[in-house]
Structure 1
């Protein structure tokens, strides 16, 4: 794939396309007011066209403001911007799907999103609480019917509120549930999962390729160290010897080598940053390429180590990570 800063899209199975690098906008703890707005403006100025966000991130209004401002300036056209929004676990009941998407559109003040995905395959009790618990501090789970949720998403696409539909954190079994759904109208075009040199997702990647599903890599450089949902004993990816030695060879950072590795495999990356210099650096991955041998060497770093384990929900009937892939 010959990507360049100006032209770096991957075709999706529904005829649309996705830029191979995007800006992630998740922040832990919550972002400082104004921070996301500045980051998105910086990213668009540097050449990014893909912004990855979610209702759950509490900053979609700032993302929308930045996008609209750049459109008004003439820096980009709306059709050049690719925004991915997410349906949260408390809104998986079919009647809640469209209102959830409309709430996102209202925050963004945009007519449509380019991609809307089910954020996790585990349903939580519907309601105002995004992390519902009972009086004893136990999680309030909810029975999901992912096929019914998917049909509600298909209706949103038919209504013109979204261009493409996808999922996130789905394992093979959960993907097959949708792919084999009777009367399936639109296939998932993407599956957003953790993916990096220490967790290359070879089996899931192969399965998704067979079904024309693009893998979008979250935490492509590792992740923050919040012990509530992250395996903090895992090694730091950016200190890896091989990534750093290749960085020296190409006059790049270990992060740029890690990102380049994924895009050369046809995996979309969405590194998150609110730091203008890093936002720029993460995008500078189009002026070099790794050799076949280097790609194999990086692939061999795989430890099958998940940073984002979400163990606090491992007793949920639809917890996706008990399966091999």
Structure 2
């Protein structure tokens, strides 16, 4: 653990862009995703820093965040103001620095985790130069959250299998199974549930450009959920890429981690990308077609009514799944529950009774 005296010259920040998710740590005047472009030649050891956060009233012992950078030769630190400090936001506040665990992927996607041993209400995130090669260092932070990690509840019905609690092989659409995208096994036992509702999300992060990029993003999300947030597995049951690929996440018959306090019997489907201003990724028709196909199957299999399909913001204090995607949920629900296929039937048989029976059977199918 290290201690710093924070001078006013360190309080600047190159922060742009926005995604106002009320589950994220708030910084005055700053929105998510937090972005910065920094001239390396003009910087010393500190490449990038957020301002000191607004007051965090929740009790927490872990801070997690994820985003993208364009150079991996960096270190991450979290600076906090201990609750015992009598001065909070002064330019000479004494801060305690934590060096946590982190992982930076070859494509620049990163996550970081800091376990906090001191009570605090104010934090800031700092990037340290460790031999950066680029002239302009770029960072984008999609999410920064505080967590209160606690022990597993007692007397829960737990299971260890994955395939037994997944959709069967007879599904009428292509599902990219866990073994196909090389999912890691769950860290602990699952808890069984019976799907009765569906919640639509967006990942509010990286927007994959192709299939390989989508596979990498699903792998990253599972890694972040398991090793930064401390969850047993990826939180969503299904993820959909911009090209319409449907990925199997956590098995559908076990409790996920996608709506705080409302995960039991709730199937989480997340479309990869950020569909909220000012990012506004394109909601592709392929992704819409895929989510309609998936929800149609799930509502038939589990007898889920139309009024039990939600956007994340309907169930919690968040902007998820973004204004763009949320605006399409009524259309998605209508097509899931009211669309009927047009079938052209041409039957030429000598037996008119048989011909009529076949026609009636097809029309009533």
If asked which structure has higher relative contact order (CA below 8 Å, sep 6+), I would say: 1
Query: With structure 1 as the length reference, what TM-score do the two structures score?
Result: 0.27
Could you say which structure has the higher helix fraction?
Answer: 1
TM-score (norm 2): 0.25
Kindly name which structure, 1 or 2, has the bigger radius of gyration based on alpha carbons. 2
Q: Which has the higher strand share?
A: 2
